[in-house]
Each structure stands twice: as C-alpha cells, then as structure tokens.
Amino acid sequence: MIYRAGNDVNIPRLPENLEVALNKMKESELAREILGEHIYSRFVALKEKEVEDYKKEEDIGNTLVTDYEIERDYPIL
C-alpha cells in the first residue's frame, strides 16, 4: 500500500478500514511485542468483534453510528 506523491515520494497509505488495519496488525510481531500477549490478544478479539458487528449492520443497510455505539465507545475516548 504505497501512494506515489509528486516528485517520486513514496508515502505509505493508511489502511482503508478497520478490518484491513487489523489484518496488518496481526502480521506485526512488533505490535504483539509492544502490547504484550494478554493485551494484544484481547485487543485483537475486541476489534474482530467490532468488524463482525459492523458487517452485520452493513448487511441490513445500517452503517450510521448508533446511540449504543456512542454510549459504549465515547467514555473510553
């Protein structure tokens, strides 16, 4: 995932969505090493669930942020 900018400067692209980012993270030994196995595995499981939940909502045509998501996620920001 490289973006070619002007003057032949290569800039890595950000992942397109959470699922792509999570897959990249799962390929990274550095992430596992920095976070430690316990936090890494919990974080990955949490984000896999988030991707799964989003896909379910997307399947029924609901991709807006819900009140539930705001209540669930806002406090941890």
The answer, as to whether pTM is greater than 0.75, is no
Measured in residues, the chain has a length of: 77
Q: Looking at residues 5-22, what average pLDDT do you find?
A: 81
Cα dihedral 11, 12, 18, 19 in deg (nearest 10): 140
Q: Which of 4-8, 15-19, 20-24, 47-51 has the lowest mean pLDDT?
A: 4-8
What's the rounded Cα separation, in Å, for the pair 47 and 53? 10
